[in-house]
Structure formats: C-alpha cells, structure tokens
Chains A and B, each alone.
Chain A
C-alpha cells in the first residue's frame, strides 16, 4: 500500500514513507523524526540530509495548530473539476512544524480567519480514497 489512494488525485505510489497512508487509515496523521539526530520533518521523510541517517520514527501531529494563510480555489487542475471550490491552507503546529492541506468544507470561506485555531484529522473520501484535513479546533 502506497500513495495510490491518497488525496483527490494521486500521481505516484511508491515511497519509503508510505506508512503515512497506513497510519491515516488507522486514524492518525503522523510525521517523522530522524532516529539519529532528532530532526523533525513535514512532509515526513526517512532520509535525513542533516546527518545522512536513513531511519526515522513516526510521531503524531496533534495539539494546537494555527492557520497561517489560505486560498479558495475556484478552478482546479485535471481531476479536480468536480472538487472545486476547495480551500488550501498552510498551518503551523505548536512545535513549529509547518504543514499544508485542505480545510474542512464545514468552515465557510467567510468564517476563515488567519490565526484561527485548527486541528488535523484523517478523512475518508469517495472511491476508497483517503486524505487528511484541517478542522475547527
């Protein structure tokens, strides 16, 4: 199991960090920390360019997260025609990790405020696809 069912449209499947998707199915949004030097990464990566380590451990992205910026896309690329409009966000976690993803459709564009508190959660989508989104904290 790789990234073939991740997000609305996936473009490639194989990666050493494919456990990300397995964790999503178990209800957790995880990222990695280098086992050797402790560097934290998002997106997750097994390889550490800082110490050349190739082993990482997974930890859960949870707790307070803050909206840094957003946009609501009206015209999506191929495969997203029926998906638009959707809102893309950049969100910072308390430990400084900066992440990217979709905002829950439960939040109207007029209610979005930069700086608002959010949390991340896995979401099941149509056709057995899986993703994560940011929701009201």
Chain B
C-alpha cells in the first residue's frame, strides 16, 4: 500500500458561536488533536493547505499566518476555497500532491471565525452568496435556495415538514452527546415544528448555525502512514463535481446533481456501492439537505429519502447511520472547518473511538461535503 494515501490524524476545535481566541489559536486546537499520538513532528509535514471562505476572514492570506504559528515554514503553504466544502477540497488536493510524489505528509487545516464579523457584515456577505448580477438583486439567500429544493421535493414526492423535522430530532439527539458541538440540546418534534419560519417551508430548527471552529486532517503516503500511525484510515474513493451558481441553471430541483456526480465517482474509484457504506457524514446545512443526500448518495431511491428517517434507518443502530455526531445542525457550521470535522468523525468511527455514538464494527465510511446551495460537491470514501 506504499502508493496509497491515508489519513493518519484528524482533529477539530470545539465549535462555538464565539470562540474567544485568535484564528491561529483556534487552528492550533484542531492541529494539536490531529498530531497527538502520531510518531511524527511538525518537521515531517512537508506542506500545508489552509481552507476557509475568505469573505469571512479579516486576515488576508491566512495560510502564511497559520504556517508560521505552527512553525511549518519554510514548507509550502497555500489556500483552497470552495465555500462550505473547502476542507474536503483540501483533502482531495493533498491526496493528489502525495500521489504525484511531490509531497509525503500534508496538513489540511480548515477554519472559520465567523464571530469576527458583526451581524451586519455577515448579512451583507449573505446577500452576495448568489450570482451578484442576476440573483442577489432579488434577495436570494442560502436558506432560500434550499427552501426552493424543499418545495420542489414536497410537490413531487409528498415530503412533509414533519419528515424534515425528524432529521433535526435525530441529529440533536447525537449533538447532545458530542462535547465539540455548538448546540447540545435535544429537540423534540414539537420544538422543531413550532420554531419560526425563516424562508418557507424551512424553520429556524431546520437550519444550522454559523459558528467559529477549526479542523485538521493529516494526510500521508502509505508507507509513512503505516509506520507512524496505529490505525491509518485509507482514502479509497474521491469524487468532486459542480453545479451552476444560478438557481435558474439547475436542471433538477429535487436533488443535488453535484452530489450525485461526486458520489458516482467516489463509489467507482472505491469499487463499492452505497450498501457497502457502514457509516456516513452528510452535509446537513438544512434538514432537507440530509434527505436530499440520502437519495443523491444512493442510500434511498429518489423520493424515498423521507422514509429512511421515518423508519429510523439513519440512527446509529439503523441500516445506514448518518450524522451520528449531530451533523452540521448540532455541531454548527464554521464554513472552512466543516469538511475536516466530518472527516474527523468518520476517522473516529472507523477506529472505533466514537464512544458517544459508535457504529459497531464500522469499516467503510463516507463523507459528503457540499459548498453553496449545491454548487460544489465532494464525496470521500474512507476505509479502516
């Protein structure tokens, strides 16, 4: 397996509405967890990739700053962005840099410190999330984009608001046990159903919250991985795809085509099928996003995603456990850190270390990380 590529360490900070530390200190929290227990030091890392959504950063070009703080200079450092999917894009690039022979061990560091912005500044950026000539002048928002997918799914398949709410109920039950989650309260179906409408039919508890957080994934060449890590987690499938930035450009409004395409690529590379996945992390920025992911990734047929949550098949002891760390809905969504946090959860599951909610005997896991309203899709398949 010398030519294969593995994850040898994964960590994340506590995700919180306000972290109270600087960006470099925030990143150190995740880096420390990822590096602890490995038989390597900072000197063995030969490149770093920093991942965030720059419109939320006060510091220009933060990769240089973080590289200095972790004493990774003079090793190359650069920045990768695909909004909410930035850090899984970082892992994809780390894989290819190692596979090419250019590097041996790479630190992929994702972060977002959203509390650095005032709520007014955040609302201004929210307004520029769509195509700024053709869609932002109408007041489109991220929740509105997903709400339009929700309405279309409801119209075609009869999906209900209660079914969406059940996703939040599940994820909140796991979020309550996750010490790194921002939102740790269990929510009932009534709590979710009675929350304020944000953009119909999505309500407050259908939505994840912005927050501060960091993640780190250490990626290494196979021979090194086997030497320095007790349980390397192998990257066996990678898929990445895009869809249009404009909502009017979308061919389908009942599923994310970027997820479907990225999933297809990842399954093909891994030589696996959806039924081979033991545990999955999907991008539940909204409750509906998790339902769409069930279908887009082949865990359910189109239109049958809601049935999976009705039947509790995505709980930890179900047929395909999904987001048993609380998901974005409970953990919070520090944009650039999210993909790395999802990968950390699957690494812990495959190592049998997820004591809060361990899927028994999990050997193959999937990470689905989406940027924008289905604009960028990454699917990563990992094996113990």
CA distance A9 to B253 in the complex (A): 26
A15 in contact with B133 given A79-B127, A88-B140 (CB within 8 Å)? yes
Question: A70: which B residues are within 8 A, CB to CB?
Answer: 148, 151
Which residues of chain B in 53-82 are interfacial with respect to chain A, using CB atoms and an 8 Å cutoff?
none
Q: In the complex, what distance in Å separates the CA atom of A3 from the CA atom of B140?
A: 17
**B269 within 8 A of partner (CB):** no
| Residues on the B chain within 8 Å of A83, using CB | 139
1/0 contact string of B117-156 vs chain A (CB within 8 Å): 0001001101110011111111111011001111110010
Contact of A77 among B126, B151, B196, B253 (CB under 8 A): B126
Q: Tell yes or no: A84 within 8 A of B by CB.
A: yes
A114 sits at the interface (CB 8 A): yes
* Number of B residues, CB within 8 Å of A: 39
Known A-B contacts: A9-B137, A12-B133. Give 9 more (CB < 8 A).
A7-B136, A68-B253, A71-B151, A73-B199, A77-B126, A88-B138, A88-B139, A90-B148, A109-B200
Stretch at the interface among B4-12, B227-235, B244-252: B244-252
Query: Residue-by-residue, is B184-222 near A (CB-CB < 8 Å gives 1, otherwise 0)?
Result: 000000000000111111100000000000000000000
In the bound complex, what is the Cα–Cα distance between A93 and B155 (angstroms)?
19
Do A69 and B151 touch across chains, with their CB atoms under 8 A apart? yes
B151 in complex: contacting residue of A86, A101, A114, CB < 8 Å: A114
Chain A residues near B248 (CB-CB < 8 A): 42-43, 90, 98-100
Give the residues in chain B near A8, CB-CB below 8 Å.
137-139
Q: Which of A74-98 contact B (CB under 8 A)?
A: 74-80, 83-84, 86, 88, 90, 98
| Docked complex: B216-272 residues within 8 A CB-CB of A | 246-250, 253
Contact B199 A72 (CB under 8 A): yes
Q: Are A43 and B131 in contact (CB under 8 A)?
A: yes
In the complex, what residue of chain A is closest to B203 when comparing beta carbons?
Answer: A74
Assembled-state Cα–Cα distance A113/B141 (Å) = 22
Q: Does A10 contact B (CB under 8 A)?
A: yes
Q: Which of B132, B136, B137, B200 contacts A71 (CB 8 A)?
A: B200
Residue from B132, B137, B141, B196 within 8 A of A131 (CB atoms): B137
Taking A12-B132, A72-B199 as contacts, is the C-beta distance between A77 and B124 under 8 angstroms? yes
Question: How far, in angstroms, from A78 to B134 measured CA to CA in the complex?
Answer: 17
Q: A80-B127, A101-B138 are in contact. Are A74 and B198 (CB under 8 A)?
A: yes
How many angstroms from the CA of A83 to the CA of B136 in the assembled complex?
13
**Shortest distance from the beta carbon of B114 to any chain A beta carbon, whole Å:** 15
Q: Is A33 an interface residue (CB 8 A)?
A: no
Sampled A-B contacts (29; CB under 8 Å): A3-B133, A7-B138, A8-B138, A8-B139, A9-B136, A9-B137, A11-B133, A12-B132, A68-B152, A69-B148, A69-B149, A71-B147, A71-B150, A71-B200, A72-B199, A73-B141, A73-B143, A74-B200, A75-B141, A77-B127, A80-B139, A86-B138, A86-B139, A90-B250, A100-B134, A100-B140, A100-B246, A101-B138, A131-B138
Closest CB of chain B to A110's CB: distance in Å?
Answer: 11
A71 to B140, CA, bound (A): 10
Taking a contact as CB atoms closer than 8 A, the residue among A69, A77, A109 that contacts B139 in the complex is A77
B148 touches A10 (CB 8 A): no
Docked CA distance A88–B139 (Å) = 8
Whether A74 contacts B199 in the complex (CB less than 8 A), given A3-B133, A43-B134, A90-B148, comes out as yes
Min C-beta distance of B161 to chain A, whole Å: 13
Given that A12-B132, A114-B155 are contacting pairs, would A69 and B253 also be in contact in the complex, using a CB cutoff of 8 Å?
Answer: yes
Interface centre among A11, A84, A109 (most CB of B within 10 A): A11
Closest to B127 in A: A77
Nearest 9 interchain pairs by C-beta = A7-B137, A77-B127, A71-B147, A11-B132, A100-B248, A69-B152, A78-B124, A43-B134, A114-B155
Contacts of A114 in B (CB 8 A): 151-152, 155
The interface bits of chain B over 266-308 (1 if a CB of A lies within 8 angstroms of the residue's CB, else 0) are 0000000000000000000000000000000000000000000
Map CB proximity to B onto A47-80 as digits: 1 under 8 Å, 0 otherwise: 0000000000000000000001111111111111
Q: Does A102 contact B (CB under 8 A)?
A: yes
Beta-carbon contacts under 8 Å, A18-47 to B: 42-43
- Which B residues are CB-close (under 8 A) to A12? 132-133
User: What residues of chain A lie closer than 8 Å to B199, measured between beta carbons?
Assistant: 71-75
By a CB distance below 8 angstroms, the chain B residues around A102 are: 138
Most chain A beta-carbon neighbours within 10 Å: one of B127, B132, B196: B127
